[in-house]
């Protein structure tokens, strides 16, 4: 699974690079609008993830850095955060 999460991070980083290049040097007419809309949608999703998983950052050594990574990588970073052990129901 680590390979999957690493590949997802790499592809997400490449997507953000495409969005930044599109902001500096816009692509041809219909494509630059689609890239901007997709970038805005992904940023909205990552902000929503920050709101939904904000309790996961409590007690972390660098919660600000984790929040920045969630903005950049989204769920691919959230999956690498350690989870609290579940209580035994036995």
pLDDT digits (tens, 9 = 90+) for 16-27: 999 999 999 998
What tokens were used for 38? 């997709």
Q: How far apart are CA 14 and CA 63, in angstroms?
A: 24
Q: What is the pLDDT of residues 23-74, one digit of tens each?
A: 999 989 889 999 999 999 999 999 998 998 888 878 888 888 888 888 888 8
Q: How far apart are CA 30 and CA 6, in angstroms?
A: 31
pLDDT score for 78: 74
pLDDT score for 83: 65
pLDDT score for 90: 55
> Which is more confident, 64 or 85?
64
What tokens were used for 35? 């890239």
Q: How far apart are CA 34 and CA 32, in angstroms?
A: 5
Domain spans of the chain? 2-78
pLDDT beyond 90 at 80: no
pLDDT score for 62: 85
């Amino acid at each position: 699974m680590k390979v999957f999460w690493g590949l997802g991070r790499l592809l997400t980083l490449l997507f953000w690079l495409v969005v930044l290049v599109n902001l500096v040097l816009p692509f041809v007419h219909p494509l630059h609008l689609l890239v901007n809309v997709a970038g805005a949608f992904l940023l909205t999703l990552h902000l929503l993830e920050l709101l939904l998983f904000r309790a996961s950052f409590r007690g972390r050594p660098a919660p600000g850095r984790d929040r920045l990574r969630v903005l950049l990588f989204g769920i691919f970073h959230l999956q690498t955060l350690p989870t609290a052990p579940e209580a035994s129901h036995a």
